[in-house]
Structure formats: structure tokens, C-alpha cells
Structure 1
Amino acid sequence: MRAEIQQLLVDRPEIRQFIRQHPNWYRRLSRDPSIVSQLEKEVNQFYGRTLPQRVEKMQNSLGLVMMMMEMLKMGQATVSGVQGPGQ
């Protein structure tokens, strides 16, 4: 493997870990080192760093927050409803 590819793996441990999990990339990079950009795209997709994946993650988090707020509202309404007639 070329020295610049080896240095990339030393500098970026997430790429090194990805290649360890997908060993076919060793062979591909050894044969054609110009596909580093393709490797980086696949690494970003694997780790969920693409824009659509980030948007989906944000939507899921927002949905969870909204659900928790609704549960809190329902809990407060139940608590205030129980205390009101008893007073």
C-alpha cells in the first residue's frame, strides 16, 4: 500500500476502523489509490454522516421530544384534574 494511503489511515482512525471491517478496501486502494474520495463517501455513509442521515436523526430526536412533551402535558392534566375536585 502506498505511503500516502498508510498516512491517511494513521491520521484518520475512523477510516482505518472502516477498512478493518471491510477488508476489500485494502485491495481496492492498493490497486487504485485515486478512489480515496469514494472511500471517504462510504465511510461517511457507514457512520451516518451524510446530510439525509443527519436530517433523519434530527427528525427522530424532535419526534421523541414532542412525544415527551405530550406525555408531560397529559400527566399534568391528570394531576391537576385529580386535585381540583378533591379541594
Structure 2
Amino acid sequence: MRSEIMEYLEGQKELKEFIREQPFWYRKLSRNPYDLQSLQIASLHYYKKTIPHKVEKFSNSVQMASMMLNMFQSMNSQQ
């Protein structure tokens, strides 16, 4: 792999960890060193940091809070 790619990955700890977990990216970057954008997109999907993942996580949190609120309200109405 090219030295400038290695230097870039040294500054991006999450991408470096992703490459260690997905070793085929070593080969892919060795063949096409300017495919960093694909690497970043794949990393975002792997770590579930895309916008749809964040929206889903927020939605799940709201649903959980709503369920807890309903549970507390039902407990108070029973007393």
C-alpha cells in the first residue's frame, strides 16, 4: 500500500480499525489507492453511522421512551 495512504489511515483511527477487521480492503487499496471514498462509505455502513442508521436509532429511542411513559401512566392510573 502506498505511503500516503498509510499516513492518511494513521490519522483516521476508525478507518484503520475497519481495514484490520475487513482485510480485503488492503488488497483493494493496493490496486486502486484512490478508492478512499468507497472505503469511507463502507466503514460508515459497517459501524452504522449513516443517516438512515442514525434516524433508526433515534426512532427506536423515541419508541422506548413512549412505551416507558405509557407504562408509568398505566401504573399511576391503577392506584
Question: How many pairs are equivalent?
Answer: 79
Structure 2 residue aligned with 1:31: 31
Rounded Cα–Cα distance in structure 2 between residues aligned with 1:4 and 1:13: 15
Q: State TM-score, norm by structure 1.
A: 0.87
1:72 aligns with 2:72: yes
For structure 1, the 5+ residue unaligned runs are 80-87
For residues 1-87 of structure 1, the aligned pairs below 5 Å read 1-79=1-79
For structure 2, the 5+ residue unaligned runs are none
Q: State TM-score, norm by structure 2.
A: 0.95
SS in 2 for 1:54: helix
Rounded Cα–Cα distance in structure 2 between residues aligned with 1:61 and 1:3: 43
Q: Which structure features the higher share of helix residues? A: 1
Larger Rg belongs to: 1
- Counterpart residue identity of residue 73, structure 2: K
TM superposition shift of 1:3:
1.4
Structure 2 residue aligned with 1:83: none
**Percent identical across equivalent pairs?**
37
Give runs of ≥4 in structure 1 deviating > 4 Å: none
Deviations 1:11-69 (A, max 9, x none): 11111111111100001101101110000000011111111111111110100000000
- Counterpart residue identity of residue 66, structure 1: S
How well do the aligned residues superpose, as a CA RMSD in angstroms? 0.8
TM superposition shift of 1:7:
1.1
